[in-house]
Structure 1
Amino acid sequence: MASKNASGGYQGTDPQDPVPDLKIGKGPARSYVVTEPPKTLSESRTPTSPKEQITIAALLLITSVVRLYGLSRPDSVVFDEVHFGGFASKYIKGIFFMDVHPPLAKMLFAAVGSIAGFRGDFEFSAIADKFPESTPYFFMRLFPAVLGVATVLLMYLTLRCSGVRIPIAFVASLCFAVENSFVTISRYILLDSPLLFFIASATYAFKKYELYPQGSWASQKALLGAGISLGMAVSSKWVGLFTIAWVGLLCIWRLWFMIGDLSKPITKTVTEAVRKGVFLLVVPAILYMVFFYIHFDTLTVHSDGAGFFSSAFRTTLEGNTIPRDILADVGIGSVVSIRHVATMGGYLHSHDHMLEKGSQQQQITLYPHLDGNNDWLIELYDKPNAVVDSFEGLADGTKIRLKHVVTQRRLHSHDHKAPVSESADWQKEVSGYGFEGFEGDANDDWIVEIDQKASAPGEARTRVKALETKFRLKHPMMNCHLFSHEVKLPKWGFEQQEVTCASQGKEHLTLWYVEGNFHPNLPEDAERISYKTPGFFEKLIESHQKMWHINKNLVEPHIYESKPHSWPFLLRGINYWGQNHRQVYLLGNAIVWWSVTAFTALFALTVVYELISWQLGYKILQDSKVVNFHVQVIHYLLGFALHYAPSFLMGRQLFLHHYLAAYYFGILALAHAMDVVVTYNFRRREIYGYAIVSAFLGSVLYFFFTYRPLIYGTPWTKDLCKKSQWLTGWDYPCQNFLSTYEEYKNLESQQALEALHASKTIAADAVSKPTGAQEDPSTNQNSQAGGEEAFDVDAIMASPGLKKFVDQNGNEIPHDAVKDLLQNGGSVLSVEHHSHTDML
C-alpha cells in the first residue's frame, strides 16, 4: 500500500509501478495537484528490460506473419486501389489529377512504386484488372502492410505510456494485430493504413510527452514528434484534423491543471503553452503546405482532371489550351466564349441536339472543355443579322442577343419548365431557337448587368472586359437571369450541366464572364489580356475549395455504403474483391468490435453513477490506479468521439472504413478496461483477471481464424461461409464459393492444364532451329508423344513466368527429371507457376 508523505502527497512504494500515486500539494488556501511527473515514471513505462524487449519481438513476429502473409494475392486490383494506385501512376508520369484527399499518402505510394521500378504504365482502371509484370504491386502493398505492423507496435508502446501493465498491453496489441478490418485495410494500396500509422504515431508521441518533466529535452522531442505526426496525418486525410483537435483538448486539459499547480510559476506555464502552439499547430501547418507544394510541383501535365479548376489555375500546367493574349474589349459583333463563374460546369454551350422535354428546342448546357460549340456572336437586340463594320463596346445595361455560331440559333427563354429542375417554378427552360437568317423574337433578348463587386476595379465595371468583368444576363420578358447549377441532364443531354433562367436562387450562380473573344474590327495592336498566373497560396486555396465542394457532393448511393449509427454494431461490411470463387470483404473482428461498443456504454454509465455518488457525499476515485484508469479512458474515448461524431454531420456517402480511426481509440480504451479487470477482480486475485483476458484473447483469435478467407482471398466453402453470416448485413456472397476444398484443387488442376496447352506455342517458340532444317519425329529424342512439337527445357526455364513442368495428368515433374523423361518417350508440358492456395 502507499503511504502519505510529509508534503501531503502520496508516493507509491514500488518505483517501477507504472501507476504511481497522485502527488497532492498543500497551498495556503487549498490543495492542488502537482503536475510534474515523478522522475521514475518514464522509466517504469519505457520498455528497457530484456524481458519486455523479448515480448515486443514476439509481438512483432506474430504481427508480421499476420499482416504480410500472401500480399501478392489477389494479383488484380482490389477496391479503391482503382483510385490510389491510379493516382500513384499519375504522380510518376506527372499528370495532374483531382482528389478530395491531401497528397502525402498518395505521394508515398508513388515513391515506393517508383523505387520498385514502376513507370506508371498500368492505370488501375477497374477492380479485378490483372496486374502486368511491369507493375510492382507487391512492393506497393508491402508499404501499407509494414506501416500496419508498425501501428501494432505503436499501440503497445502507447498503452505502456498510459500505464497499462506489460501482459495486458501485449494481449490488447495482439487483439489489434489480428483485428480483421485492420488486417484487411493494411494489405492494399489504400490511404487508411498510412493514416492510422500517423494517427497512432501522434498518439504515442503525445502520451510519451506526458511522462517527462515540463520543458525537458525529452518532453520537447516527444512534443515535436507529435506535431510532425499530426502534420503527416492531416496531409494524408482530413481525418487528421480530428486528431489535432483531440491533442488540442488534451493540451487544454493539462494546462488547466498546470495553472492550478501552485508549485509552478505562471511564466513556465505560459512558455509551455506557446511551445505547444508552435509544435502542435505551426509545425503541422508547415508540413501540410510543404506536401502541397511538392504536389503542385510534381503534377505539371495538363489532363481532364484539371477541368475541375479555374482557367487561371490550368494555365500553370503544361499542354493546357487555355486562351492567352485575349482581346480585352468585348463589343457588338464579338465572337465570345462565356464561362460560368460559380460551378465547374465550364462554358455556355449548345449543339445540334434537341431537348426531349418542354419545347423540344435545341439544348443549351454547360460544357467543361474548349470547343467550337462554345462560340457565341453578340448582336444588338434591334439589329439582328446586321453587318458590323466598327467597334461598339458592350456597356452595362446593353440589351443584346447571343447567336450560336455553329447552329445559328439564338439563346432563348420562355415559359416552359426547366428540363430537369422542372419542379422548381422559379426556373424556366433555356433553349436554342431559330435558324440561319431568322431575325428572332423578344424571347431572345438579354440585358447585360455588370456586377460591381465581383468585377475588377476600373473600366471592367463600366463596360465588359474579357476575364475581368463579371456580369449577369437578365431576360426582360421572363424577369429572370441566366443560371446554372450542378444538376446534370440525362443521357439524352450527354450528362452536361443544366442551364436555366432563374427568378430566384443564389446570386453567384448567375455570374458569367467572357474568356474567348474575337472581333474583326479591332486592330492588331488592340489591348490584350491573359489570366494572371496564380501563386502557391492561390492554388492552395482553390484546391481546398474544390476538395471541400466535391467531397460534400459525393452523395450518389453506393451498394456498400453504411450510416454512422450502424458502425458500432458492425451491421455490414464492404465487398472489396471477388474472383475465381474467392472473396475479399472488409469485416471487423466482432469480438473486439462489440466489446469496444459495450465498454464505451458501460463506462459512460459508470461515470454517471460516480457523479451521482459524489453529489451524495460518497468518496470516489481514491485509488491511484482507478484515477489513472478514468483519466486514460476519458482521454481515449474523447479521441473516439472526436473521430466518430463528425460523421453524423456529413451528407456524403460513408463506409465502414470511416469508423476505423475512432475504433483505434476505442481499442486503446478497452485495453485499460482489461487492465483494470486484472487489477480489481474476484477477491482481487490476478489469476482470475488473467483468465478472463485469456478467454477474451482466445475468442478474438477464433474469430480471426474463422473469417481469414475474407481477408486473404483464400478458398472457403459455401457451408462454412453461410454459417459465418451472423448478421443479415454481412452480405458477402456465399454462393460464389465452391462446395468443397477438393473442388478448388480440381479447379486449379483444370486451370493448370488449360495453361499447359496454351503455353505450348510459347514453348515451341523458345526452340532455336536453323532456317530450313527438317526434323524427323521418329529420330527426335526430345519430341513429345503424339507428334507434338519439341521444346528446349533450358529455354522454357529462362522464359518469364514459366517455371513448372507437369505430365498430362497435371502431376508436377522435378526439373532434373524432365530431360530424362523426354528421352524415354515421355510427354511433358510447361505451365506458369500459379499462386498457392494454402491457408494461414
Structure 2
Amino acid sequence: MAKKPGKTQNSQAQSQRASKKNKIPADEPSPSLLQAIDQDPVLPFEVKDGPERPFLQIDTEIDEQTDKSAPDRKEKIVQLRTMNTKVERLLVLSLVLIASYVRLKNLSWPNSVVFDEVHFGKFAAKYVKNQFFFDVHPPLAKMLFAYFSSMAGFKGDFLFSKIGEEFPSDTPYVFMRLFAAVSGLFTVLLMYFTLRSSGIRMWVAYLVTLCFAVENSFVTISRYILLDSPLMLFIAAAAYAFKKSQLYPALSFNGSRYLLATGVALGFAVASKWVGLFTIAWVGALCAIRLMFYLGDLTIPISKTIKIALSKLIFLLVVPFILYATFFYVHFETLINDGDGSAFFSPGFRMTLKGNNIPQNVYSDVGVGSVVTLRHLGTHGGYLHSHTATYETGSKQQQVTCYGHLDDNNKWLIELANRPGVTLNSFQNITDGEKIKLFHINTQHRLHSHDHKPPVSSNSDWQKEISCYGFAGFNGDWNDDWTVEIDKRKSTPGDAQKVVKAIDTKFRLRHSSGCYLFSHKTKLPKWGFEQQEVTCAHSGKPHLTLWQIEGSESAVLPSDSKRTSYSIPNFWSKFIESHKVMWNINKGLTATHVYQSYPQEWPLLQRGISYWGNHNRQVYLFGNAILWWSVSFAVVLFAIVSAVELILWHLGSPVLNEPHVMNYHIQYVEYILGFLAHYIPSFLMQRQMFLHHYLPAYYFGILAFAHAFDITVTYVCKKKRVGQVLALIFTIVVVAFYYYYSPIIYGTEWTKEQCKKTQWFHGWDYNCNGFVDDLTEYATIPTTTTTTAAETAAAAAAN
C-alpha cells in the first residue's frame, strides 16, 4: 500500500521559515526606498513526501486545512508581486512618461505613407467606405485602425496608394498612428507587470522594462499604421493575464477572472494576426505542464484536476474562438459593398455583396448553340477568356487566358464537333461524353490546342499551348475538338450529373490529343496583360482542370425555361471559405523581396527593413543590438547550463533546491517555451519572411532574459552593489544605443559620417549615402507639399 503523504523534516523546517517570513508584525517599521524596490518576491517552494519520492506542491494549490500557513503564504505571494506601494506607483508613472515620450514623439513625421501603411491604411479606408477587400490577416487590428480614423473624421478618400505618397491635410494619419503608439505604450506597462507577477524584484523589472521601452524595433513598429503594435499589445496582455492567474488557486474567483482575461487577450491576438495561434499554443503547453504538476500533487483530487482542465479549455480555447468568429461576423457585416478583393472568392460569396455583377437567374439548361461563360474552379483566375492579342512565343496565335472580371470576351458559343457552324432549330442538351467545339464570339475563332509549348510554362513537357485559331469559312479541325467529362462527385446530384447544367455541373474538357483544359496561378508577361495562363495538361492536378458554366444564353430555349442562381452562403460558409482563401494566398507569398530575411538570421540581427526614405532621411526597422544579442546569448547559455545541470542530476547531485534558482528555472522555461512557440514555426513557412516576424518571439525572449538578468545581479553577484552597478551600466548602454540610432527610428536628420559610424556590419544596410554631409543642409530641403484629398483626386484625373 502507498504511504500517506507527509512532510519531511526538511520541508517542515522550510515551511516554518516561510511562515515566519510571511507574517508581518503590525509594529514593523516601513521599509526604506531601497528596501522597498529590492523586496524579494520569491518564497520557498513546498516539497512533500509521496509514496515513492518527494513531489513539488504548487504554491497556489496548498491545502489550507492541512497547512495552516497557506492563507498567509497565498496572500504574501500576491502582495509581493502586485503593485501596492507608492514607490512602485512612482516607478510605473516614470515608465509611462518615458515610453510616452519615446513612442509619441513627432508622430506626424514622416508626413507620407511608410512601409505597410500602404496596405493597412488602405484597408482602413475601405472599412470606412464599407467596400469589400481581401487580406491574408484576420480583421480586428485593421478594424480598430478604421474605427479610430473614422472617429477623427476620415472619409476614406485617401487610399494610401504608394510608399512616400504625402498625406492630404484632411487625412487623420496622426490619429491613426496614435492608436499604434498607445498600443506600444501599454505593451511596455504590461511587460513590467508581467515580470513582477513572475517573481522579479521591482528595480530589476523596472530596468529591464526601461530597456524594452527604448528597444528600437518595438519603438518603430509602434509609430506607424501597422498591425504589429496592436498584435504585440494583445500578446503581452495574454502573457500578463496568464502569469497573473498563476498567483491564485485554480477555480477561485481571481484565478478564473484572470484566466478569462487571458482568453479574451488570446482572442484579440489571433483575430489580429494568425501569430496569435502560437501564443495559444504557448498557453496550452504551460497548462499541460501545470496539469502534470496537479496529477503529481497527491493532495489534489483527480476530480478537481478534471474541473481545472475543463475550465482552462473553456477559457483558453472556447472564449478565443467565439471572439475570433465574432470579429469576422462584424467584418462581413461592415464590408457590404462589392470591391476588387471579392475576386478571390466564390460567386456565391460575392452575391452577398451589394453591387456585385455575378449572373443571376441564368438558364439552367446548356445545349448546342448556347452562348456561355466558363469559370475555372481550381483558382481565382476567373473566366475562360480570349482577345485579339497574340502570343509572342510558340504558335503566335490568339491568346487564351483566365480573366477575373466579367467581359464580353468571356463569351463562347457551343457547337457540336461534327457539325460546326450549324444552328439547330430545337434545343439539344450537352451530355456527359459529348464532343464539342467552343467558338469565341468576339474574335470568330475556336478554342484550339496543338503541339506547341505554352508561353510561360515552356519547361513543362506535360503542358501544351492553348490558343484561338480560325478564319472566315473555316469550320475548324480535330485540334478544336473537346470532349465533355462531367465530374459526378463534384456536381449537384440529379440531372446535373448527366447533362451539363449552368452552375450545378462541374466538368472537364478533354482535347482530342488527350490533354485537359487547365489553368494555374502562373501569369503571362506584360504582353499577355499579366492574365492567368491557360494550357492543355496531360497530367495536371484534377482540381485545376475543373470548370463550370456560370452564364448561359440560348435562342431556342423557351423564355419560361428553368433558371438557376448560386446559393447564398450563410456566415459559417463564408467564414470557412475566407480562411481557405487566406491560407492559400498566404502560403503563395513566395516572391523575393529586397529586404526579406531568414529565421536563422534574426537572433544575430544581421539586417533590418527599409520602411521609408525621402527628403534625405530614412526610417529603417532595426533592433537594439545590445538587448537583442543579450537575449540571444541568454537563450544559448540557458541551454548549456540546463544540459550541465541535467547531467549533474543524473550523477546524483542535488539541483534546484534554492528558491530563487527554482523560480528562475520555472519562469525561464515558461518564457523560453513562448520564444520557441513563436520562433520555430518560422522555419516551416515557405513565404516571404521579414525581421518583424521575429518580434513576438523576441518579446518572450526579453521576458526570459529578464529572469536571467535578475538572478545574475541579485543572486550570482554576492555583493549587492556590484549587481546593481552592472544592471545600471547595462541599461545605460541599451539607452545609448537607442539614442545613437534614433534618426532611423524617427526619420530625422543625420549626416553620412554619423550614419556610417553606426554600420558595424555589412548587413546593416540602411542607406547612409541618402543623408547629407552637413546638418545645416537640411534647412534648404523642403519636407511637404500638403494637399487635400480632393486636390489629389483632381490631379490624378488631370493626368
Question: Structure 2 length as normaliser, TM-score?
Answer: 0.92
Match of 1:199 in 2: 235
- The alignment partner of 1:680 has SS state of helix
Match of 2:329 in 1: 293
How far residue 679 of structure 1 moved from its aligned partner, in angstroms, is 2.3
Give the counterpart of 1:313 among 341, 349, 358.
349
Describe the superposition over 1:561-619 as per-residue Cα deviations: whole angstroms up to 9, x where unpaired: 11111111111111111111111111100000111111111110111111111111211
Match of 1:215 in 2: 251
Match of 1:810 in 2: none
Q: Distance in 1 between matches of 2:319 and 2:179?
A: 25
Q: Distance in 2 between matches of 1:96 and 1:744?
A: 43
Whether 1:33 aligns to 2:56 is yes
Match of 1:6 in 2: 12
% identical equivalent positions? 56
Q: Distance in 2 between matches of 1:265 and 1:653?
A: 49
- The alignment partner of 1:18 has SS state of coil
Give the counterpart of 1:137 among 159, 167, 173.
173
Matches within 5 A, 1:394-793: 394-476=430-512, 478-682=513-717, 684-745=718-779, 747=780, 751=782
- The alignment partner of 2:552 has SS state of strand
- The alignment partner of 2:167 has SS state of coil
Describe the superposition over 1:226-283 as per-residue Cα deviations: whole angstroms up to 9, x where unpaired: 0000000000000000000000000000001001111111111111100000000000
- The alignment partner of 1:131 has SS state of coil
Whether the 8 Å CA contact 1:332–1:380 is kept in 2: the answer is yes
Aligned partner letter, 2:490: A
Whether the 8 Å CA contact 1:312–1:533 is kept in 2: the answer is yes
How far residue 215 of structure 1 moved from its aligned partner, in angstroms, is 1.3
Aligned partner letter, 2:153: G
Describe the superposition over 1:140-170 as per-residue Cα deviations: whole angstroms up to 9, x where unpaired: 1011101101000000000000000001000
Matches within 5 A, 1:267-286: 267-286=303-322
Match of 1:373 in 2: 409
Aligned partner letter, 2:443: T
Whether 1:355 aligns to 2:391 is yes
Describe the superposition over 1:93-135 as per-residue Cα deviations: whole angstroms up to 9, x where unpaired: 0010000000000000000000111111111111111111111
Matches within 5 A, 1:79-118: 79-118=115-154
Aligned partner letter, 1:611: L
Aligned partner letter, 1:321: N
How far residue 17 of structure 1 moved from its aligned partner, in angstroms, is 3.8
Give the counterpart of 2:420 among 377, 384, 388.
384
- The alignment partner of 1:127 has SS state of coil
How far residue 11 of structure 1 moved from its aligned partner, in angstroms, is 4.9
Q: Distance in 2 between matches of 1:564 and 1:516?
A: 48
Whether 1:247 aligns to 2:283 is yes
Aligned partner letter, 2:141: A
Unpaired stretches in structure 1, ≥5 consecutive residues: 760-840
How far residue 685 of structure 1 moved from its aligned partner, in angstroms, is 1.2
Whether the 8 Å CA contact 1:357–1:419 is kept in 2: the answer is yes
Whether the 8 Å CA contact 1:11–1:20 is kept in 2: the answer is no
Aligned partner letter, 1:544: H
Match of 1:808 in 2: none
Aligned partner letter, 2:167: F
Q: Distance in 1 between matches of 2:17 and 2:197?
A: 19
- The alignment partner of 1:84 has SS state of helix
Q: Distance in 2 between matches of 1:588 and 1:27?
A: 49
Matches within 5 A, 1:225-236: 225-236=261-272
Higher relative contact order (CA 8 A, sep 6+): 2
Aligned partner letter, 1:296: F
Describe the superposition over 1:370-399 as per-residue Cα deviations: whole angstroms up to 9, x where unpaired: 000000000000100002211000100000
Whether the 8 Å CA contact 2:215–2:623 is kept in 1: the answer is yes
Whether 1:21 aligns to 2:47 is no
- The alignment partner of 1:331 has SS state of coil
Match of 1:801 in 2: none
Q: Distance in 2 between matches of 1:441 and 1:11?
A: 98
- The alignment partner of 2:764 has SS state of coil
Q: How many residues align?
A: 750
Whether the 8 Å CA contact 1:3–1:11 is kept in 2: the answer is no
Whether the 8 Å CA contact 1:71–1:138 is kept in 2: the answer is yes
Q: Distance in 1 between matches of 2:85 and 2:301?
A: 36
Give the counterpart of 1:339 among 364, 375, 389.
375
Q: Distance in 2 between matches of 1:9 and 1:264?
A: 19
Q: Distance in 1 between matches of 2:331 and 2:468?
A: 42
Q: Distance in 2 between matches of 1:504 and 1:370?
A: 29
Whether the 8 Å CA contact 1:681–1:688 is kept in 2: the answer is no
- The alignment partner of 1:379 has SS state of strand
* RMSD over equivalenced CA pairs, Å: 1.6
Change (3 A) 1:639 1:11: farther
How far residue 10 of structure 1 moved from its aligned partner, in angstroms, is 7.0
How far residue 4 of structure 1 moved from its aligned partner, in angstroms, is 4.1
- The alignment partner of 2:484 has SS state of strand
Aligned partner letter, 1:741: L
Whether the 8 Å CA contact 2:141–2:272 is kept in 1: the answer is yes
**Structure 1 stretch displaced more, 198-207 or 35-44:** 35-44
Q: Distance in 2 between matches of 1:14 and 1:197?
A: 36
Match of 1:185 in 2: 221
Change (3 A) 1:543 1:11: farther
Whether the 8 Å CA contact 1:9–1:25 is kept in 2: the answer is no
Larger radius of gyration: 1
Q: Distance in 1 between matches of 2:339 and 2:635?
A: 48
- The alignment partner of 2:415 has SS state of strand
How far residue 9 of structure 1 moved from its aligned partner, in angstroms, is 5.2
Aligned partner letter, 2:55: Y
Q: Distance in 2 between matches of 1:227 and 1:9?
A: 34
Match of 1:770 in 2: none
Q: Distance in 2 between matches of 1:589 and 1:10?
A: 46
Whether the 8 Å CA contact 2:132–2:342 is kept in 1: the answer is yes
How far residue 680 of structure 1 moved from its aligned partner, in angstroms, is 2.5
Whether the 8 Å CA contact 1:573–1:586 is kept in 2: the answer is yes
Q: Distance in 1 between matches of 2:673 and 2:700?
A: 8
Q: Distance in 2 between matches of 1:421 and 1:504?
A: 14
Whether the 8 Å CA contact 2:751–2:772 is kept in 1: the answer is yes
Change (3 A) 1:409 1:261: same
Change (3 A) 1:315 1:702: same
Whether the 8 Å CA contact 1:10–1:24 is kept in 2: the answer is no
Change (3 A) 1:10 1:553: farther
Match of 1:58 in 2: 94
- The alignment partner of 1:663 has SS state of helix
Match of 1:786 in 2: none
Whether the 8 Å CA contact 1:307–1:368 is kept in 2: the answer is yes
**Structure 1 stretch displaced more, 29-38 or 282-291:** 29-38
Whether the 8 Å CA contact 2:11–2:46 is kept in 1: the answer is no
Describe the superposition over 1:404-462 as per-residue Cα deviations: whole angstroms up to 9, x where unpaired: 01111111111111111111101011110102331100010000000011101111000
